[in-house]
């Protein structure tokens, strides 16, 4: 165990580790690291486009609650949502395919019909 030479060094190392942990998420064998733009599922790299990565990150970060298409669009694209837009649906489909999701029983991204998408806790 490293002994820190002073309190400031101890605090700064703790802050770095805390920030690093906040930028990594783990769920059901899926690891995602926002700082390094890495997505790993059961020790296999999953290659996501930047938009796919941001969508998956947002859903994982908000796991346990339903995220509407509007909320997802406005937070990922940083633009105003203009109503019925298949963009979200197409991206979700691509992410599911890359994760090897069973469309009838998805393990990660679940559709809440008429409301949005959800990742269980």
- State how far the alpha carbon of 119 is from the alpha carbons of 9, 47, 66, in Å: 38, 20, 8
Give yes or no for residue 105 having a pLDDT over 90: no
Percent of the chain with pLDDT over 90: 62
Query: Quick one: how far is CA 108 from the chain centroid?
Result: 10
Is 38 a residue whose pLDDT tops 60? yes
- Least-confidence region, from 4-18, 33-47, 56-70: 4-18
Instruction: Check pLDDT > 50 for residue 17.
Output: no
Q: Structural domains in the chain?
A: 49-119 (1.10.10.10)
Give the predicted TM-score (pTM) of the model: 0.80
| Confidence band of 57 (pLDDT split at 50, 70, 90) | very high
């Amino acid at each position: 165990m490293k002994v820190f030479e002073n309190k400031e060094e101890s605090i700064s190392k703790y802050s770095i580790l805390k920030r690093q942990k906040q930028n990594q998420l783990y769920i059901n064998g899926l690891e995602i690291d926002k700082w390094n733009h890495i997505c790993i599922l059961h020790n296999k790299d999953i290659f996501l486009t930047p938009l796919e990565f941001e969508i998956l990150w947002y859903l994982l970060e908000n796991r346990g609650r339903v995220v509407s298409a509007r909320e997802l669009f406005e937070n990922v694209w940083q633009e105003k949502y203009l109503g019925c837009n298949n963009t979200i649906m197409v991206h979700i489909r691509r992410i599911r395919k890359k994760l090897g999701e069973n469309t009838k029983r998805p393990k990660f991204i679940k559709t809440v019909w008429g409301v949005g998408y959800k990742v269980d806790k």
